[in-house]
Structure 1
Amino acid sequence: MSMKFSFLISSRILVTMLLSFLFFPTVTHATNGYLSNGYGMKSQGLAGVGVALPQDALAAGNNPAGTALVGDRIDFGLSWFMPERGTTITGSSVPGASGSYDGNYKKSFFIPEFGYTKQLSNATSIGVAVFGNGGLNIDYPRNPFAAYGSKGSASTDFVQLSLSPSVAWKPSEQHALGAAVNFIYQRFTANGLSAFDNPGTSAYPGSVTNRGADSSTGWGLRLGWIGQITPALSLGATWVSKVSATKFDKYKGLLADAGSFDVPENYGIGIAYKITPALTLVADVQEIRYSGVRSLANPLSNLTVQGNLLGSPNGGGFGWKDITVVKFGASYEYSKNLTLRGGYSCKGNPIPSDQNFFNIAAPAVVKDHLTFGSTWKTSSGAELSVAYVHAPKNTTNGRGSIPAALGGGDVKSFLEEDILGVAYGWKL
């Protein structure tokens, strides 16, 4: 196959995948807070590990230096995501508020992914990765905020997609450096929050709820390094800048700073150690800086301070804190055609116990992920990969999470996640 023909085919596949992302009805993901646990099906099978172990053309999502180490590839995949979520209000003095609320009106979602890499020379490679960077969704047929004045059902839907063209350079055979532009597309919808849509609560009444879908975009940077320290040991490091995204104008009365919703900075380190020629152990540590995003980090208690209404620069928000994610995995080459994977990741809860009330709309409380995966290499050399991820049910018990002005009480939320994915890729 000629280089020109190969490029034309790759370009058509890329355009098709980009369009599928832009018009996919709903995308969400197995989450650390709301960010994905990892990018690429092989990484998902290893609990999201990928900083020091690039495996496919989506490597740039985990570390752009990996673009230099996977060769000429195309990979695409689709995952079926199935969350279970809900909340319980107790101890409220507001009539009808206490009770249990099921947030599972929408039960499943689909997540596409695509990656392409091309080696230009022995030292330089380029690529592009397109993936779901993160997301949240919850839909309550019975509105938890109805007793406080909201009407209709309650739901939030947040989608964050990333397109990351990358370039990587090998200054020597042992080291690779990479950089990627991080273009972010976001979509947000909120319904059933009219209890907060009034001059006493919001700086922009009429721009809080039921405004339809709004979109936002922004640009950032990914940087990374991978070093082959010994024949058996690889180390890696990566940094992803904060993305200052355009504002959700339709929801400027809900989100702090008139609809601002930036993408948090995060960074991490990784290690891959080949115990035997067939068995590789891997681990990553990642820090996610949610405290740098006002609409996420501002506590709801800010509402009690004069001038800090919803939508104002210091307006009440979700009260999220920074989290550290630790990931472990093992990859075993059972035969020349079959590779098996497994992993476990854990993190802190980004939502403090006294912030559960507003997070009824965003109960991102899972703490652990258990994963399994495999890749089968076909006789033609193509690779079929599968991954299964289970985030066990985690329940947070709020303490003083409903402000006294709203009748007091506590909120208990839970989230459980399952994801099953399949990907197909090949070397060019």
Structure 2
Amino acid sequence: MKAYFLKLCFLLFATAAFSQAGHIMQGVGAVNMSMGGAATGQPLDISGAIQWNPASISTFDEKILKLDIGFFFSSPELSSTVPEFDLTGNPTGNFFSGTTEDDRGVSPLPAIAMVWGKEGSRHTFGASAFGISGFGVTFPESTTNPINMPQSMGGFGRIESNYSLLQLGFTYAYEISDKFSIGVQPTFNYATLKLIPNPTASPFNPTFVGYPSTDNSSAFGFGGQLGVYFDSGNGFSAGASYKTKQSFGDFKLDNTYLDSSTGENEFKIDYPGIWSIGLGFSPGQFDLALDYRYVEYENAAGFSSVGWTPTASVAGFGWKNISIVSFGVQFKGVNRLPLRLGYTYSSNPIESDVAFFNVPATAIIKNAFQIGLSYEISDRWAIDGVYHMGFSGKATSGPLLNPLFIGVSPPYGAIPGSEVSYDMTTSMIMVGASYKFIKK
């Protein structure tokens, strides 16, 4: 067998082995998703209003219950290239390249919300349970792709991740006047994490044995959201909100190494703070919505740090702050059948020099398109549906990194002539139903 540049044992030291951890879903529920996630200044349903601007729930004057379930599919591909070396350690001028496809199945996305409003009252209350992040990857072990080679041959072997984040919110809005409202929402979070292998742990236990695998671990977090909402009464509306960083406790990861020895380490991942501003306009049979969001990854634990620790584990993943633009249009010209189109643009938080640290975080979607509709069965009941398709635009790529190379290739030890890249498409079908408790 050829001797590859993988001769330096386990030069593929670490990767952020979770997908979309901290990635911002562009919407919550079928209606909001079909509008591209735009709702800060145009609350068409209670789920989008609660998620993006607590003040905007003041527009709902009934008691409403909303349930949604989405089925998320992704097709990421992971590619890597390394130079070949002969048995004496000299480069041959050839390269070893390969690609691995994800074989993960469907991921569910649940959402439930309820609002208590009353005509004539200045007070509106809401409660919600949203799955706002919950994805993973499964890249099987391969002898044709350097990064998925068995750990005994210098690769990572099978790369698998599972991350989910459930957020509970309790919302209160107060109408200062007929046109202006304010809102507040404390949030409580529960997250789970599983990593195979675990790059946040040292590969030494106490000698070099490679990176371990972990069982499921969980952590609790908390935060809040503040919002303001303005409705001119003649079709124009606007809103702004700030969802604070969701601060989590440490994940306590129980590790099992390749030699069956065990260990433990802790790792902290926060959900980033989000600024949102939005505009709405409703001329005639149309509702238009436009949102802009600024996501503060650089202030969130797990993302703000970057590079290697002294024991060759990953200190953090080095994500940059990003911007998200959402736009949606609803047409109400068909009786009881509103139709919607939505678009979402997101910038990439991962720069090329740290792409290696984020290998399985493949769900970085640049452009997303949505089409949806509702059917108003009666004054009480409505059902909703949306289809989503997302594209990464172009592959995220960068050099493979090795802490042993930091002296000659600072700051992260880029390996000359190497490359790792990943891209993907996503699709999702979501259905929902809402019920209004209307008094006879």
Match of 1:278 among 268, 282, 285: 285
1:65 CA drift (Å): 1.2
Post-superposition CA distance 1:96-135 (Å, at most 9, x none)? 9943343422121111110111026610011111111113
In structure 1, what is the Cα distance between the partners aligned to 2:364 and 2:79? 14
Post-superposition CA distance 1:221-259 (Å, at most 9, x none)? 011111013511100001001122011011699xxx941
AA aligned opposite 1:102: T
* 1:417 has 2:423 as partner: no
Structure 2 equivalent of residue 228 of structure 1: 231
1:92 CA drift (Å): 4.2
Structure 1 equivalent of residue 23 of structure 2: 34
1:355 CA drift (Å): 1.5
Structure 2 equivalent of residue 107 of structure 1: 105
Structure 2 equivalent of residue 70 of structure 1: 60
* 1:57 has 2:46 as partner: yes
**Per the alignment, do residues 235 and 194 of structure 1 end up closer, same or farther by CA in structure 2, a change over 3 Å counting?**
closer
* 1:131 has 2:165 as partner: no
AA aligned opposite 1:287: Y
Q: How does 1:175-186 map to 2 (within 5 A)?
A: 175-186=180-191
* 1:265 has 2:270 as partner: no
Q: Is the 8 A contact 1:76 1:113 kept in 2?
A: yes
Which 10-residue stretch deviates more, 164-173 or 334-343?
Answer: 334-343
AA aligned opposite 2:60: V
User: CA RMSD of the aligned region, Å?
Assistant: 3.0
SS in 2 for 1:350: coil
Q: Is the 8 A contact 1:183 1:219 kept in 2?
A: yes
In structure 2, what is the Cα distance between the partners aligned to 1:339 and 1:215? 40
Q: Is the 8 A contact 2:139 2:148 kept in 1?
A: no
SS in 2 for 1:172: coil
Post-superposition CA distance 1:248-289 (Å, at most 9, x none)? 011699xxx941111111111000012x22112210000111
In structure 2, what is the Cα distance between the partners aligned to 1:252 and 1:319? 24
AA aligned opposite 1:60: I
SS in 2 for 1:294: coil
Post-superposition CA distance 1:296-348 (Å, at most 9, x none)? 23223x44xxx4753xxxx5322211100011111110234011110111121
In structure 2, what is the Cα distance between the partners aligned to 1:195 and 1:165? 34
Structure 2 equivalent of residue 248 of structure 1: 251
Q: Is the 8 A contact 1:32 1:366 kept in 2?
A: no
Q: Is the 8 A contact 2:202 2:311 kept in 1?
A: no
Structure 1 equivalent of residue 435 of structure 2: 426
1:152 CA drift (Å): 4.9
In structure 2, what is the Cα distance between the partners aligned to 1:206 and 1:184? 35
* 1:87 has 2:78 as partner: yes
1:66 CA drift (Å): 2.2
SS in 1 for 2:430: strand
Tell me the TM-score normalized by structure 2. 0.80
Q: How does 1:302-341 map to 2 (within 5 A)?
A: 302-303=308-309, 307=310, 309-310=312-313, 316-341=315-340
Post-superposition CA distance 1:381-401 (Å, at most 9, x none)? 311111111102433252334
1:350 CA drift (Å): 0.9
**Per the alignment, do residues 319 and 183 of structure 1 end up closer, same or farther by CA in structure 2, a change over 3 Å counting?**
same
SS in 2 for 1:65: helix
Tell me the TM-score normalized by structure 1. 0.82
Structure 1 equivalent of residue 89 of structure 2: none
Structure 1 equivalent of residue 8 of structure 2: none
Structure 2 equivalent of residue 351 of structure 1: 350
**Per the alignment, do residues 171 and 196 of structure 1 end up closer, same or farther by CA in structure 2, a change over 3 Å counting?**
closer
Structure 2 equivalent of residue 155 of structure 1: 160
Larger radius of gyration: 2
**Per the alignment, do residues 170 and 298 of structure 1 end up closer, same or farther by CA in structure 2, a change over 3 Å counting?**
same
Structure 1 equivalent of residue 215 of structure 2: 212
Unaligned runs of 5+ in 2: 1-17, 87-93, 257-264, 406-412
AA aligned opposite 1:155: E
AA aligned opposite 2:237: S
1:197 CA drift (Å): 3.9
How many residue pairs are counted as aligned between the two chains?
386
Instruction: Give 1 or 2: higher helix fraction.
Output: 1
